[in-house]
Amino acid sequence: MKYTTLPNTNIKVSKLCLGSMTWGNQNTEAEGHAQLDYALDQGVNFIDTAELYPVPATAEMSGRTSKIIGTWLQKTGHRDKVIIASKIAGPGDYTAHIRKTGFSPNAIKEAIDLELKRLQTDYIDLYQLHWPERNTNRFGVRNYKYDSNWEDNFNEILHSLDTQIKAGKIRNIGISNENSWGTMRYLEESKNHNLPKIMTIQNAYSLLTRTFETDMAEVSLRENVGLLAYSPMAFGVLSGKYIKGNAADNARLKLFPRFARYSGEQATEGVKQYLKIAEDNNMTLAQMALAFVNQQSFVTSTIIGATNLAQLKENIDSIHVSLNEEVLSQINEVHNLMPNPAP
């Protein structure tokens, strides 16, 4: 395994982070525990969860994923061996079953207290805002529409998180599904008011979605805010299993076809071309896709997810794959022909 540190800290994290959002729905507790055991044996010490998980989000299943991590921590006693990241859900119709108060001080306190109970731990290493409160381009929305009804509360949010840091409940903070303006506003408030700095941003980044490179990459590198890249496999599309027709019956897009963000005509054509590059260079598409993300200078850790141990092994093994300049050039040729075919 390869390691780095969370920006602006001395916390060592693996370059691959174990995602968990299928546990409690597509995966049982036993399967989640088996993934945790295997990942830790391979040197993965970074785990990402959220109060919303598993996905799709429902009132019945909300919080199950973190409970599975909690029972594993209680059973194994491995809390000191792992770095745990979690998230508070932003407002929206699909999170009304969790709460309707956004990132108010009481909401942040409640969310952290409940998550600590589920995880069976006294602290969370990295606590993230799952998506902005304001209406902005998130989850693949391309065209920005201005909303004048939102009231700026960056300062209040940072004060609330600072209170939780001082209470010892969380150690560091991050954001997710954010853009450059929101990121810079958080940084501005932390600099001007001696408030905690955001250490990471968790956004989608893959061969099919490289929009992070347009402006956020510069923010990331100049401001030292590391990307935790999610969906590097584009919901499994970049394994090639859907265009090859060998996806299992419990594959994500077979179970939940509405998650079609990476399945459009252009994205599918992109996958075909990337698959050819991988096969011509004696790699699986999954390992090439993950290696591409792993090599980016602005990426702190790549969040991998799997529904079985065979997938998890292939994903973790990608850490040993290094793409040479020729392969990178071939990838960029495809990207130049069809930039960001998935939002």
Residues annotated as part of the active site: 53
Give the integer Cα–Cα distance in Å for 339 and 192. Answer: 37
Say if CB 248 and CB 242 are below 8 A apart: no
Task: Say which DSSP state 196 is in.
Answer: P
Burial 280-294 (b: 16+ CB within 10 A, else e): eeebbbbbbbbbbbb
Give the integer Cα–Cα distance in Å for 89 and 121. Answer: 20
Instruction: Give the tokens for residue 66.
Output: 């973190």
Say if CB 7 and CB 293 are below 8 A apart: no
Query: Mind giving me the DSSP string for 241-260?
Result: HHHHT---TT-HHHH-TT--
Give the integer Cα–Cα distance in Å for 146 and 160. Answer: 26
Give the integer Cα–Cα distance in Å for 32 and 39. Answer: 11
Give the integer Cα–Cα distance in Å for 202 and 302. Answer: 10
Give the integer Cα–Cα distance in Å for 151 and 317. Answer: 46
Give the integer Cα–Cα distance in Å for 60 and 13. Answer: 32
Question: Among 280, 273, 190, 286, which Cα is nearest to 238's?
Answer: 286
